[in-house]
Amino acid sequence: MQIDLQGRTALITGATGQLGRVMARTLAAAGADMVLHYLYNKSMAEVLCAEVEKMGRKALVVQGDVTKFDDIIRIRDESLKNLGPVNIVVNNAVIQYEWTSVLSQNAADFQSQFDACTMQNVYTAKAFLPAMQEKGAGRFIGINTECSALCNTNSGAYAAAKRGMDGLYRVLAKEVGPSGITVNQVSPGWTISDRDREAGSEQAPEYSDKLPLKRRGTDQEIANVVLFLASDLASYVTGVNIPVCGGAVMV
């Protein structure tokens, strides 16, 4: 069985990130044209664009701050002008910050995480879902995290924001489901990416030994689940949050 996304256009926010770049390659390999969003890493965005075009797909590089509604609207308009309507949205971008206890964490960190993890999804929903509703089909996918379920110490700002995102997605699934749009989340664990391969840090027994599968997952394994949710194989799946974390979280 082969997944075919030909004739569809996918937007990935944070496409230049460690997980985003693999998602972009994976969806493009399945036939989707790609809108590749970045905030700072223009060079990686251009590399990804060239890779997608080499696969025979169309690609567009767009820059913007996903915490600003005006930027999201501009990204939508640029996508529509150059590639047509976006059928698949993958909200992957996130802001990095220093982790510490709730009592020690700067209040601004809570706000930045909420803006990136929750409001990004509000803005992309407002920008892209109306066109999907008119067409009667679409995929809205968010990258959450195992941290929102584990709620480990020092993850307060991140866990709180991602839990807000989770609630938003469950409401959205009910609101736009009648229009044929599915709304789902993927929650990765601590995933092996290019950064680990370059640093030789793939092995982390202190983490993996606690998992039922006894190993860390890979960026490709995360992208595979995103691909499934973006495809027709997941046509009757909505409102779910799929942990892809080797059993650290079970639902």
DSSP string over the chain: -----TT-EEEETTTTSTTHHHHHHHHHHTT-EEEEEESS-HHHHHHHHHHHHHTT--EEEEE--TT-HHHHHHHHHHHHHHH----EEEE----------TTTS-HHHHHHHHIIIIIHHHHHHHHHHHHHHHHT-EEEEEE--THHHH--TT-HHHHHHHHHHHHHHHHHHHHHGGGTEEEEEEEE-S-B-HHHHHHT----HHHHTTSTT-S--BHHHHHHHHHHHHSGGGTT--S-EEEESTTSS--
Phi, psi of 28 (to 5 degrees): -65, -40
Rounded to the nearest integer, the mean pLDDT of the chain is 96
Q: How confident is the model at residue 179 (pLDDT cuts 50, 70, 90)?
A: very high
Question: Of the residues 38, 123, 158, 169, which is catalytic?
Answer: 158
Residue ranges covered by each domain of the chain:
9-244
What is the per-residue pLDDT across 69-100, written as a single tens digit (0 to 9) for each?
Answer: 999 999 999 999 999 999 999 999 999 889 99
pLDDT of residue 12: 98
Residue 251 has pLDDT above 90, yes or no: no
Q: Give the rounded percent of residues in the chain with a pLDDT score beyond 90.
A: 92
Q: How confident is the model at residue 202 (pLDDT cuts 50, 70, 90)?
A: confident
What is the per-residue pLDDT across 99-144, written as a single tens digit (0 to 9) for each?
Answer: 999 999 999 999 999 999 999 999 999 999 999 999 999 999 999 9
pLDDT of residue 138: 98
pLDDT of residue 2: 84
Mean pLDDT confidence for 229-247: 97
Angle at 234 between CA 231 and CA 236, to 5 degrees: 140
Contact (CB, 8 A) for 105 and 156: yes
Q: Let me know if 169 is a catalytic residue.
A: no
Residue 1 has pLDDT above 80, yes or no: no
pLDDT of residue 104: 96
Q: Which CATH number applies to 9-244?
A: 3.40.50.720
